[in-house]
Amino acid sequence: MAPPIAPPETFARAVAGLRSATPRPEIVLEEVGAPKRLAPYAFALAAGVLRDEDEVATGRLILLHDPAGHEAWQGTLRLVTYVTAELEVDLAADPLLPGVGWTWLTDALDAQDAAHRAIGGTITQTMSTRFGELAGPPAVGDIEIRASWTPVDDDLTPHVLAWCALLASTAGLPPPGVTALPGRRPAGAA
């Protein structure tokens, strides 16, 4: 049996940066299996955002690395994310929500000085009403943020911190150090 081949140094440094971040206490990160067919090397984190013991948002951040580079990526590393959260119906129906959701991502990257290029993505807002055997709570809304970007270097600590800020915004958490008023849910909260 051949010994395992060590991953490229760029990928190893990028993974170390993702592992080094300490998110705010409401965000729980765990390493999960990464897709094997998208790039020669991949690593993934999953996240759950908790508020009052309830999971209010989830996400996945995937690091892809192709040492040969990829023209569409404009580099050898690519970060891909999927974030989803339940929202109050009036927020989920707001036509400005997609633009706000995109700003949560771009502002978070800028605030962490997470230099990047070739960013793209989609924001989806949905409304669901249950009927028949599935009848239950009133209509609910959701937001889904799918995006990818190319970091300009292999220090990904600022990128994972920006992703955690995106998760917090999507979940409607107040900024660190700010306490929500009792009985009131922050914007973005279900």
Q: What CA–CA distances, in Å, run from 157 to 25, 163, 170?
A: 17, 10, 20
* Residue 179 pLDDT: 66
* Residue 180 pLDDT: 60
* Residue 60 pLDDT: 98
Q: Measure the CA–CA gap between 92 and 98, rounded to whole angstroms.
A: 9
* Residue 123 pLDDT: 96
Report residue 124 as tokens.
């989806």
Report residue 101 as tokens.
């959701």
Q: Give the position of tokens 């989806």.
A: 124
* Residue 131 pLDDT: 81
What is the DSSP code (8-state) at residue 74? T
Regions in the chain scoring below 50 on pLDDT: 1-3, 184-187, 189-190
Cα dihedral: 188, 174, 17, 19 (round 10):
-80
Q: Measure the CA–CA gap between 90 and 144, rounded to whole angstroms.
A: 16
Q: What is the pLDDT of residues 93-118, one digit of tens each?
A: 889 999 999 999 999 999 999 999 99
Q: Measure the CA–CA gap between 186 and 33, rounded to whole angstroms.
A: 32
